[in-house]
Each structure stands twice: as C-alpha cells, then as structure tokens.
Amino acid sequence: MSYWSITLEIPHAQADALGDALMACGAFSVDLADAREGTREEMPIFAEPGADSQLWALCRLKALLPASLDPRAVVSAAAQASGCMAADFVVEPVDDADWVALSRAQFQPLQVGRALWVVPSWHAVPQGADIAIRLDPGAAFGTGGHPTTRMCLQWLEENPGRVAGKQILDYGCGSGILAIAAMKLGAGSALGIDIDPVALPAARGNAADNGVEVTFIGADARVGQVFDLALANILANPLKALAPALAAHTRGGGSLVLAGLLDEQAPELQDLYQPWFDLSVWRSSEGWSCLAGTRRP
C-alpha cells in the first residue's frame, strides 16, 4: 500500500478552503464532487469564468495522501489551518499500481467524424482512420472527448470548402486540436491563441507530433491579420466578450464557428454576434450547441 484515500462530506462554503489546506498539508490531489451524485438529488453545475456559481450545497471531498503521512493528523491540521470543522471522514488504503497504465487504459482511439480520429500515442492508428490526430491527454483542454470539441472537428471535416487552403484562427486553442485538425484537412495556415500559458507549449508539442506547422501565441500578442475561418471553443461568457475581436479578425464572407455554449445560451450569442455575422445552430449534442455562420461584408 502506497497511499491513503480520505473521503468526507462538507458544506460548500468550507470545501475550497479545506481542500487548499489539505494540499498544503501534503495531499497529492483533492477532488470535489456532489455528495448526492448518483441520486435523484444530484445537481449538475456548469461553471464558467464570470459566472456567479456555487458549489453543491453538500460536497464530497476526496484527497489522496502518501502512506508516510498520518491521515487523521493531516485532516486535523488542515481543519485547524482552514478554520473548518473537522468532519467525520473515511480512510481507505490504496494499493500501489501502475498509475500510468491505469490512466492510459481510460483513453482509447476516438472516432470524431467520418474519417477523422483522435488517437493517443500509445495506440496504433485504427484501420479506416484516414485522418488521425495524435494527441495525448494533458494539461490543456481539447482531446475530442467533449461534445463541443467533437462538433467543431465535425464541422471542419464536413465543410472542406471552408477549410482547404484557408487561413484559420483557433481562439482559445487549448491543446491545439482544432488548428491541428484544420491543417491535416488541408488548411493553408493556422494560428492558435490562448490565455493559458500552460496550453501554448502543449499545443506546440502536439503540432510537432502531428507533423503540421501551426503558430501558437498568447492572448496578449498583437494579431494584425484577418482570417478566412475563425473558431472559438470556449464558454459563453468569454465568447460574449470576444465578439468584436472575432469580427475584426474574420474577413468578409469568411466563416465563424462558436462552441462551448449550452443550448439555452445559443439565442443570446446569435443576437450578440448579429451585427457582424449570420449565425445559426449548426449542431447540438448532449445539451451543448455549436453555432456557425458567415461574416457579412
């Protein structure tokens, strides 16, 4: 046995503070979930930047500790440091295992379009995967598993005339998956932008692994060009703020694809972008919408 797993339930007002304190006291990781998960009282929460979201009324907190630590002493110290009440908790031993192998087993080749696949580096490319994006799970968002990413990839594959030979902007590029896919589908050039400094080196590495040339820059860099196609798979609030910038960087007659918004948020985004774009819901999946349309001259 190499680890201890600690599980406890705590009110949302104390959850973040106690989780931070557990990390400071030596926990490898801390995970928060709905304490009512799997019951009729489970409450889905979609959080995004700028949203005034609350955690679940009662949170299930799970922490992983090295076996060298006394879990009861760690919980007591964390509770004292955070000012939280020391709740009842369950301690379970966690057997040593090949964590890399266990993690990799969760990620299989994923077909995201008719011929477009996302394939982790430790798997062979499946037969019939005409276009394979080599991509491993990492710190940056975008592995093809989320419906918003899948819909953007499907749009790229199903609209070859809007991609082949074109200049592509991937705003909020994350892992770089959309820019990489566009290049593999014949785009002339691609630029990825992200506010997260962790995403940029990951995206550059992914592009190199796929043998495509993509430029990735930070959101504070100046972009002095317009594009034939702009993609932004982020969330509704930043998409609202980005409307003028995306309009300024999309040429007249060019295309815009927006994702990361819930179905009920689509009408508001359409209205907000209406001064520049004619947008409609291109596809919906699992409660998420993908908007696509054309920049008016």
pLDDT tens track for 203-244: 999 999 999 999 999 999 999 999 999 999 998 999 999 999
Over residues 272-289, the mean pLDDT reads: 96
Q: Using an 8 Å Cβ cutoff, are 284 and 258 in contact? A: no
Looking at residue 156, its pLDDT comes to 98
Percentage of residues of the chain with pLDDT beyond 90:
58
- Residue in the block written with tokens 């074109």: 166
- Give the confidence band of 51 by pLDDT, cuts at 50, 70, 90: very low
Q: Could you tell me if 23 and 82 are in contact, meaning their C-beta atoms sit under 8 angstroms apart?
A: no
Nearest-angstrom CA–CA distance, 163 and 181: 10
In angstroms, the CA 43 to CA 32 distance is 13
Q: Note the pTM of the prediction, 2 decimals.
A: 0.71
pLDDT at position 54, please? Answer: 56
Long-range pairs for 98-107: beta carbons < 8 A, 24 or more residues apart? 103/137, 107/136, 107/137, 107/143
User: Residue 87 has what pLDDT?
Assistant: 67
Report whether pLDDT(294) > 70: yes
CA dist., res. 253 & res. 265, Å (int): 25
- Assess whether pLDDT exceeds 50 at residue 49: no
pLDDT of 197 above 70: yes
Q: At residue 117, does pLDDT exceed 80?
A: yes
Spatial distance between the Cα atoms of 229 and 187, rounded to a whole number of angstroms:
10
In 106-199, DSSP assigns E strands to 110-111, 116-119, 131-134, 167-171, 189-194
* pLDDT reported for residue 46: 47
CB 187 within 8 A of CB 164: yes
More confident residue, 38 or 240: 240
Residue 160 has pLDDT above 60, yes or no: yes
Burial 228-260 (b: 16+ CB within 10 A, else e): bbbbbbbbbebbeebbeebbebbbeebbbbbbb
Residue 118 near residue 135 (C-beta atoms within 8 A): yes
pLDDT of residue 52: 40
Domains of the chain, by residue range, sit at 3-96, 106-295
Mean pLDDT over the full length of the chain: 88
Listed in sequence order, the residues at least 6 apart from 47 whose beta carbon sits closer than 8 Å to its beta carbon are: 53
The predicted pLDDT at position 163 comes to 98
First-to-last C-alpha distance (Å) of the chain:
65
Do residues 67 and 2 touch, judged by C-beta distance below 8 A?
yes
pLDDT score of 153 more than 70:
yes
pLDDT of res. 246? 97
pLDDT on residue 39: 66
Torsion of CA 44, 135, 230, 173, to 10 degrees: 70
Whether 44 has a pLDDT exceeding 60, the answer reads no
Is the pLDDT confidence value at 284 over 90? yes
Amino acid at 283: R
For the domain spanning 3-96, the CATH number is 3.30.70.120
**Is 126 in a helix, a strand, or coil?**
coil
Mean pLDDT of 276-288: 95
Per-residue confidence band for 100, with pLDDT thresholds at 50, 70 and 90: low
Place of tokens 């007591």: 76
What was the pLDDT predicted at 15?
85
- The pLDDT score that the predictor gives to residue 267 is 97
Compare 84 and 276 and report the one with higher pLDDT.
Answer: 276
Q: What is the pLDDT of residue 45?
A: 52
* β-sheet with 29-34: strand ranges across: 29-34, 58-66, 3-11, 89-94
For the domain made up of 106-295, the CATH class stated in words is alpha beta
* Alpha-carbon distance values, 287 to 37, 41, 146, 198, 284 (Å): 19, 20, 11, 28, 7
Give the pLDDT mean for 119-143. 84
In the numeric block, which tokens belong to residue 43? 């409450």
